[in-house]
Structure 1
Amino acid sequence: MAHAMIDLGQGFWNIRGAFRIGGLIDVGTHCSLLQLDTDRFIFLDSYELSGEVREQVMALTRQGQAVEAILNLHPFHTLHCEAMARDFPQATLYGSARHQQQLPQLPWSPDRIESDAVAARYPELEFSITQGIEYISAKPGVHAGSLLAYHPASKSLHVDDTFAAPPQGGLLEKFLPEIFISPATRWALKPEASAAAIYCDWVTHLANQWQDTQNFCAAHSDLVQFKAGEFKPALLAALERARPKLLSN
């Protein structure tokens, strides 16, 4: 996927990048840049910037000096953390316990990314951590758990792996729904009888709470843009498609 920086308005940019599986198949990845009410900036997730996108970011952020924090939302997205810490050394680095375990050499904040303390520092955003499934699964390759961030001003939802979308303009777009629940969710369920029901209730709550979403920024897929009123039924439909497998576990 081509590197691109997409202006979604109200001080929110989604940066699309490349992530190749086995060095061959590019499933894409992303990060987002948010201008705070203080005119400083934060990143949602890490991505090694290069080329024109890097020039755009540096021009916006006074050569990076206006970036105050990097919020690494997904426990398993660690590949680009070192590059971001190098490019923005003055920025506070937030992450999960897994980030700190995988990259102990980086200057992580003692406040975990999913903590109330971090959420309170950024009232421009609303956060929600996955419920009913493990945030950090011990099962190999199960990355459905994450911390989601919603920016009401731009109606932009930044999500990694938990929900996905097919790449735009390709064959998969013709055969897959516009958004879908991560297939790994059923294996991420907590070992509790009520886990699937808790997860389904959480997704339903998000569909209502963030029903104004118009910019769906997903990691390993694409940016999907909805018209007013379209996001809620799309997410609820995705849940209904996934519900039988979740409840059969």
Structure 2
Amino acid sequence: MLESALYLAIPVIFVSFCVVYHIALHHPTLTHKKKQPFGFSIAHSSHRGGAGENPENTLLAFRHSVEKAKTDLIELDVLLTRDKRVVVVHDDEFSHISDRLGSVSTTLYEDLPLVFDKEPIPLLSEVFEMFPNTAINLDFKAPDPELLDHVYDLIVRYNMRDKIIWGSGFNNEEFNKLIVRKDSTIKRFFSQPRALRIYLLHVLCLLPFVHIEEDAFEAPYIHSTFVREEIFPGIPPFFLPLAVWCMKRLFMSKSLFSHLRKRGLVVLLWTPNEWSEFEEAKQTGVDGVAPMHRTWGPKPEEFQKSQKSKALSLARTQRPRASIAHQMAANGSSPLLVSIGSNFWNVRCDYKVKAVFNVGTHMSVARLSTGKFLIIDAAPALNNPTLVKELNELTSNGENIEAIIHTHPFHTGSIVTLSNLYPKAPVYGCPRHLKMFPDLKWTGDLSEPTNLARWQPEVDLRIPTGTEFFAPAENNHFSSIWAYHRESTTIHVDDTLSYASTVKFPLSIFLKPGLSFHPMLSRGGIQPRPEAPEEFKTFLQTVMQDWDFENIAAAHMGVLIGNGKRELGALLERTQREFDKLTKKYSKK
């Protein structure tokens, strides 16, 4: 009897849910209050001011978009300079707009470089003054409460509250909560994690039953380049069409966009650029698109006429977005051997986890006062003849190499390659290296106190206390020897720390931009003793006290230029709760 009732109940429940879901999906105002309408249109939007036609995020680009393309909405990004001026720029590092080394947050406004050597980086106040009647989509490029305060003061001063959509794409919910608390009346777009949550809820047929706080849903236009470079790097070509088709069904869902619009949200697609893409975007029922080039609106024949000029403008303005360490330094150093500071060079190259996630890796070279060179670590870039040529020129074919030191127990893939290139150079390694390569002519164990102090005070080497350095598990890559080059004020560190000015999808699901600890921090990186978390914290505090450093060259994912000590202190403060949890966990054992 009970089984018969269950057999009857299950289909009844399923059918009932389907009916309720269908009603809630198509008539969401039955259960949710519809959001207040926007006081402006977003149909005609300009991504970074139309970065494909003019230098991005500049007054020239914004003027072109407003006066010639008749844009409804300008999309821009904001950061804070060293002297607390709010500037319109996409990345903290200069690398995406200039050949100069440096970062916005460590530079005075008057010393900022020109965008592509052409246009100055504008102040947000200048944009507000020049376009008082144009709506602005404002993206915070740093989860900085001080930046939020300065931006809000400008919004109030220029009476722009009802013309702003703001938010931050970062995976930082505390900062996004600060945005809401600052002024809940200003329209807000989704952070990237919360946007992904919307997609997941829609797939699970739960979205109609969930409250939505945000006002604007900004989704990517899916095309083959985006899928190949952003979502599935390294995808085999024969899988690409299927992947594009699947991603379009997920990220450009008509039913999703329709539901959100019925709840009073606006939906914006970024960044279609071809006329056929505009038409496809329009068919999805969005409120607007935000292209890099011609915005939504021109007739097909007009769009075709613009192709030649667009191609010329692309060649003039577009540069590959890369880490600062991939760029040529202003003093003429090469693209591979990059000067980070006085007499210190860093080399970056690709390193993919699971053949998909490119987290990068590195090696460094430091010049000593004797004129000799210390090579720190080895990287796959040593297989590149260009790098070998540059190293030979710098070190007189290896004759001026003081020593090669390998600081990370698990960075072993290029150790033999480097030793074969420079067989006369003394080589020091970690205990694990000496066991793995017994036939290599090791000069000594780098972890021994006499070797750690061998190049002081010019290069100070330290092992992080409280970490699993000497006997780590095979998957525990947290700890390595830290190297501080005093003259360049630079720390070379491998997996313990990571730094990225921006994080691309899909890594952005797991990582936040900025300085961070390796994920193994709470999964074996710290020794399983109650005292170990405090010992590691003390190590970091001692480093910040003893070393006057500005730059941090991290293996994954890049180089932090400037503000290194401040960022490390902020990281330690952010992770205090995690250290407390580890102490409590290990105290129970």
The verdict on a shared fold, with TM-score over 0.5 as the criterion, is yes
Aligned-residue RMSD, C-alpha: 2.2
Counterpart of 2:460 in structure 1 is: 126
TM-score, normalised on structure 1? 0.89
Q: Which moved more, 1:114-123 or 1:164-173?
A: 164-173
For the pair 1:22 / 2:22, whether they are aligned, the reply is no
For the pair 1:247 / 2:580, whether they are aligned, the reply is yes
* 2:406 aligned to which of 72, 75, 80: 72
| Cα shift at 1:163 | 1.2
| Cα shift at 1:170 | 4.1
Q: SS in structure 2 opposite 1:206?
A: helix
Q: SS in structure 1 opposite 2:337?
A: strand
Counterpart of 2:488 in structure 1 is: 154
Greater helix fraction, Structure 1 or Structure 2:
2
Q: SS in structure 2 opposite 1:240?
A: helix
Distance 1:221 1:165 in 2: 5
* 2:388 aligned to which of 54, 67, 81: 54
* 1:178 aligned to which of 514, 535, 538: 514
* 1:82 aligned to which of 416, 439, 455: 416
Q: Structure 1 counterpart of 2:495, which letter?
A: D
8 Å Cα contact 2:363-2:379 kept in structure 1: yes
Query: Size of the alignment, in residue pairs?
Result: 244
Q: Structure 1 counterpart of 2:553, which letter?
A: C
8 Å Cα contact 2:419-2:425 kept in structure 1: yes
Greater strand fraction, Structure 1 or Structure 2:
1
**CA shift digits 1:94-114 (9 cap, x unpaired):** 0011001111121112x3112
Distance 1:169 1:138 in 2: 28
Q: Structure 2 counterpart of 1:91, which letter?
A: A
Q: Structure 2 counterpart of 1:79, which letter?
A: G
Q: How does 1:1-249 map to 2 (within 5 A)?
A: 4-48=336-380, 49=382, 50-109=384-443, 111-123=444-456, 124-166=458-500, 168=502, 170=504, 176-186=512-522, 187-210=524-547, 212-226=548-562, 230-249=563-582
Distance 2:354 2:438 in 1: 26
Larger radius of gyration between Structure 1 and Structure 2:
2
8 Å Cα contact 1:166-1:173 kept in structure 2: no
Distance 2:576 2:473 in 1: 21
Structure 1 residues 136 and 242: alpha-carbon distance in aligned structure 2, compared to 1, 3 A threshold: farther
8 Å Cα contact 1:180-1:239 kept in structure 2: no
8 Å Cα contact 1:44-1:71 kept in structure 2: yes
Q: SS in structure 2 opposite 1:114?
A: coil
| Cα shift at 1:191 | 2.8
8 Å Cα contact 2:499-2:557 kept in structure 1: yes
**CA shift digits 1:13-52 (9 cap, x unpaired):** 1111221223333211111111122211120111242232
Q: SS in structure 2 opposite 1:248?
A: helix
Structure 1 residues 41 and 30: alpha-carbon distance in aligned structure 2, compared to 1, 3 A threshold: same
Higher relative CO (Cα under 8 Å, sequence separation at least 6) belongs to 1
Q: Which moved more, 1:27-36 or 1:16-25?
A: 16-25
Structure 1 residues 56 and 20: alpha-carbon distance in aligned structure 2, compared to 1, 3 A threshold: same
Q: SS in structure 1 opposite 2:514?
A: coil
Structure 1 residues 62 and 208: alpha-carbon distance in aligned structure 2, compared to 1, 3 A threshold: same
**CA shift digits 1:44-91 (9 cap, x unpaired):** 111242232222111111122222311001111111100001001001
| Cα shift at 1:6 | 1.0
Q: SS in structure 1 opposite 2:575?
A: helix
Q: Which moved more, 1:47-56 or 1:33-42?
A: 47-56
Structure 1 residues 59 and 169: alpha-carbon distance in aligned structure 2, compared to 1, 3 A threshold: farther
Distance 2:418 2:513 in 1: 33
Distance 1:185 1:137 in 2: 15
Q: SS in structure 2 opposite 1:31?
A: strand
Distance 1:173 1:205 in 2: 31
Distance 1:121 1:176 in 2: 37
